[in-house]
Structure 1
Amino acid sequence: MPRKRLFLDMTVLEAARERLRHVYDTFDTVAVQFSGGKDSSAVLLLAKEIHEERGLGPVTVIFRDEEMVSPSVIRYIEYIKDLPWVNMEWYCLPMGQEIWVLGRREYVLLWSAQREREGRLVRDIPSWAITAQHFGLTNDEVVPEPVDYYTMQGKQGQVAFLTGIRANESMIRYRSVVQKLHENYINRPYRLSKAIPLRLVKPIYDWTTDDVLKYVAVDNDFPYCEYYDYAAMSGANTRVGIPLHSVAARRLNDVVITEPEFYDDLYRAFPHIEAQRNLWKDFDIEELIASYASNEWDGVRSCINDNMLSDGKHKDAMKFAAEFRKKRKNDPYGFPIDHLIRTLLLNEFRHSAPSPVGPKTRAHRMRLAALQDADDLDKVDDLI
């Protein structure tokens, strides 16, 4: 069914408040998933409004500590934890996390017991944290269930977790709020059993960055994470999050510029990231993509074998390539081999379905150029 954007006769702030009142009317337990970023700070303040309006007491806040969190973000989250109107649950659970170095990808175990024995944790586990041991598990392997399964333990009835996801941050996030006609901002968590009564809520999905900053810093005069000031002064990336995945690692020097002591901690835990920092600016990733693509499906297999360095990542890549191959059978020009190689080396693919190249993408332009070189002008006209 086609979707059409409708504009409401209210501000985004009024719409967010209306959504939250509906959520608090509908669900038995509501908590805020907090990252330390400006968006989750806005959601936290909106939840505070509802709690004060209805006399609900402290706001339950959930922080999923992923170990590779910068000192400025941790300081801010500790500040939030100590606010009298906040009841924070701080989780440090062993999860798989990607490290990306010059196109090579591997999963590492967050809070790994082995790295702890070797003195290679980025940070120590806080004494107040909820850990794997609380669930009868250890830090020797990934928790067997999705993390949401653990963070909702002890919550009563129908549960809603409020998130700060906004549609204009990425196409994936935009698509997540146009899948439903009604209550489009309320969704089931990915991979979580349908028997578990949990929903994720995006009350500020239609806000812009300016909306967020005005509400947090101007309307509420509320402090925000100091990392944003570091980034503004240095021109660094303004996203708060783990700095070693496939997108963030390409700007690893931002960590050195903004919080050099944090880079030292990352380097101590994962020394090979130094190759990414020193060599990326001169690394010809397009030449590598072209080299693998020239061998077609043998090149795809070589790409996976060479660059997916952990068993889990290798398995995910093989599964994605198999799905891509099926789609390429029906649409070879929409699913060129170099597009698959580029996705495997540069983009997130674990939770994504293969999608065709489209207008205004680098892969599309390169495909047109290749067809022009082959004098296949009729096909070029069809694709423009």
Structure 2
Amino acid sequence: MVNVWEATQQRLERIFKEFDKVVVAFSGGKDSGVTVNATLAYMREHNITKKITVLHLDYEGQYAATTDYVTQVMTSNPDLIDPVWICLPFKAACEVSMYQGHWQPWNPEERDLWVRDLPDVPGVIHTGNVPDDFPAYDGVWDYTLQQQIGTWLHRRSGAERTAVLIGIRTQESHHRHAALHRQDRTEASMLDGLNWTSRKSKGVYNVYPIFDWVTEDVWTANAQFGWSYNELYDLFHIAGVSIHDMRVASPFRGEGQESLKLYRVIDPETWTRLVGRVNGANFTAIYGGTSVMGAKDIKLPAGHTWKTYANYLLTTIEDDDIREGYLRKLRSSIKYWTVKGGALPQESADELRDGAPAGTEFLGQPTDNRKRRGPYEVVRFRRYPDDIPEVSDQSLVPTYKRLVITILRMDHACKYMGFGQTKREMTKRSAAVEKYREIL
């Protein structure tokens, strides 16, 4: 039996054998940092001299320590690294504002509000030097743009196969674990059936060489091999943040809300600029993680049901697209749970059985082909529930209370309601990708 380091070495061996172009997606965080360092260490040990590309999407608003670390990585090892540092106005999620669902870092029309100046190092791509064949970026979501840049680098290099190494770990997210371990993945969606690979376009694969690492493995590797890392984590440690809660995410994403308040202490100069960059940053820093934004013990205002409170909150949203987005997801959830019925873990279904709303039907085991861990039961409601306090895991049951929490968290994607990308959203994304391919 091999340990995670040995397994990663085996994966890197396969990567450099199967792919003639290697790109490492580098965010400046601990996971992407060890991915870069492990790749470089493997290259030096095996005398691989063909350069890899290190790709960094810069969100403009970030800790100074993160910028310093990215600069150090992107300018060191010039014999092995070809840096591509993206400072363009792509779309990034904004979950600190009721008034905007996204923002655009490096928007030239908002230059006076930029958190910092453009980096002055090789490899930076900004609005003043975009290559002629570069993919469209204005108004394109960050993750979509990263995928398109991977395809662009693949075509530009003339490679037969390109691997985009992404330092994600399944420990960090149930969605990540499910995505890599789904039983219905086809051979065509992977390279030779390897579940740590994912085909994204012809000849281009996302590869996850450290997917089975845990947080302790990351820090063990950094210590044992003397690798550089983002010194922001030292500041997090001094501030009392657990190693499992340290995040180097865009501060305006949902994942960054909890740490947004730390900017005021750790990097006050950056903080003063963040407050003026995106509406709602200061509010979220103060109230993120409290009942005001749907966390902890949220209380129902007097005279309201959760349904009437949700309707009231919807009337306060001035942006028509954001409000309609919530309503569209609500309509979808209502239809699903009151017409077809949804599958709940048997334990949750049993909890619900004693105090279920009138007319609730328990329809037995699911009959679809989806692979599930443990027994499940399909439940159908006559009316969409207001609240179901009997079920201990509230994230599993559909209620208007969940919608209220979703709105208060400014979770525009409705992740708290259990939604991923809808078919409509995926269709729009696919159409954009096809349009991009036609342009090239």
TM-score bin (small chain): 0.7 to 0.9
- State the Cα deviation string for residues 107-137 of structure 1 (Å, max 9, x = none): 2222112211xx1011222244213551569
1:381 alignment counterpart: none
Once residues 328 and 104 of structure 1 are traced to their aligned partners in structure 2, the CA distance between those partners, rounded to angstroms, is 30
1:229 alignment counterpart: 234
The question of 1:167 aligning with 2:230 is answered: no
Residues 99 and 319 of structure 2 are in contact (CA less than 8 Å); yes or no, is this contact kept in structure 1? no
The question of 1:341 aligning with 2:404 is answered: yes
> Partner letter of residue 257 of structure 1?
V
Q: Aligned to 2:160, what secondary structure does the other structure show?
A: coil
Once residues 49 and 166 of structure 1 are traced to their aligned partners in structure 2, the CA distance between those partners, rounded to angstroms, is 20
So what's the TM-score if we normalise by structure 2? 0.67
> Partner letter of residue 325 of structure 1?
I
The question of 1:256 aligning with 2:264 is answered: yes
C-alpha displacement at 1:105, in angstroms?
5.4
> Partner letter of residue 400 of structure 2?
I
Kindly tell me: are residues 326 and 255 of structure 1, through their superposed partners in 2, closer, same or farther at Cα, counting changes over 3 Å? same
So what's the TM-score if we normalise by structure 1? 0.76
2:68 alignment counterpart: 75
Once residues 71 and 320 of structure 2 are traced to their aligned partners in structure 1, the CA distance between those partners, rounded to angstroms, is 36
1:149 alignment counterpart: 148
Residues 243 and 249 of structure 1 are in contact (CA less than 8 Å); yes or no, is this contact kept in structure 2? yes
Once residues 214 and 290 of structure 2 are traced to their aligned partners in structure 1, the CA distance between those partners, rounded to angstroms, is 35
Q: Aligned to 2:102, what secondary structure does the other structure show?
A: strand
Of the three residues 54, 61, 80, the one matched with 1:61 is 54
Once residues 115 and 240 of structure 2 are traced to their aligned partners in structure 1, the CA distance between those partners, rounded to angstroms, is 25
1:371 alignment counterpart: none
Once residues 295 and 205 of structure 1 are traced to their aligned partners in structure 2, the CA distance between those partners, rounded to angstroms, is 39
In the alignment of these two chains, the number of paired residues is 338
Residues 291 and 298 of structure 2 are in contact (CA less than 8 Å); yes or no, is this contact kept in structure 1? no
Once residues 138 and 306 of structure 1 are traced to their aligned partners in structure 2, the CA distance between those partners, rounded to angstroms, is 37
C-alpha displacement at 1:18, in angstroms?
1.1
> Partner letter of residue 271 of structure 2?
Y
C-alpha displacement at 1:354, in angstroms?
5.1
C-alpha displacement at 1:225, in angstroms?
0.9
**Percent of aligned positions that are identical:** 20
1:374 alignment counterpart: none
Structure 2: segments with no counterpart, 5+ residues: 186-192, 342-379, 386-396, 420-440
Kindly tell me: are residues 170 and 245 of structure 1, through their superposed partners in 2, closer, same or farther at Cα, counting changes over 3 Å? same
1:183 alignment counterpart: 194
C-alpha displacement at 1:94, in angstroms?
1.6
Structural mapping, 1:35-50, within 5 Å: 35-50=27-42
Kindly tell me: are residues 197 and 212 of structure 1, through their superposed partners in 2, closer, same or farther at Cα, counting changes over 3 Å? same
> Partner letter of residue 323 of structure 1?
S
Structural mapping, 1:320-331, within 5 Å: 320-329=329-338, 330=341, 331=380
C-alpha displacement at 1:282, in angstroms?
6.7
More displaced stretch, 200-209 vs 338-347: 338-347
Once residues 37 and 326 of structure 2 are traced to their aligned partners in structure 1, the CA distance between those partners, rounded to angstroms, is 40
Once residues 74 and 93 of structure 1 are traced to their aligned partners in structure 2, the CA distance between those partners, rounded to angstroms, is 16
Residues 243 and 252 of structure 1 are in contact (CA less than 8 Å); yes or no, is this contact kept in structure 2? yes
- State the Cα deviation string for residues 282-309 of structure 1 (Å, max 9, x = none): 753458784598263x7555534534x5
Residues 93 and 131 of structure 1 are in contact (CA less than 8 Å); yes or no, is this contact kept in structure 2? yes
Kindly tell me: are residues 289 and 102 of structure 1, through their superposed partners in 2, closer, same or farther at Cα, counting changes over 3 Å? farther
Of the three residues 90, 106, 109, the one matched with 1:114 is 109
Once residues 353 and 249 of structure 1 are traced to their aligned partners in structure 2, the CA distance between those partners, rounded to angstroms, is 14
Structure 1: segments with no counterpart, 5+ residues: 1-8, 357-384
- State the Cα deviation string for residues 140-181 of structure 1 (Å, max 9, x = none): 941489212134313223221111101111212222221257
Kindly tell me: are residues 353 and 346 of structure 1, through their superposed partners in 2, closer, same or farther at Cα, counting changes over 3 Å? closer
Give the root-mean-square deviation of aligned CA atoms. 3.3
Kindly tell me: are residues 205 and 282 of structure 1, through their superposed partners in 2, closer, same or farther at Cα, counting changes over 3 Å? closer
Of the three residues 205, 213, 216, the one matched with 2:222 is 216
- State the Cα deviation string for residues 321-346 of structure 1 (Å, max 9, x = none): 23222222123363122123323433
1:379 alignment counterpart: none
Q: Aligned to 1:16, what secondary structure does the other structure show?
A: helix
Once residues 2 and 300 of structure 2 are traced to their aligned partners in structure 1, the CA distance between those partners, rounded to angstroms, is 50
Of the three residues 29, 34, 37, the one matched with 2:21 is 29
Once residues 303 and 288 of structure 1 are traced to their aligned partners in structure 2, the CA distance between those partners, rounded to angstroms, is 14
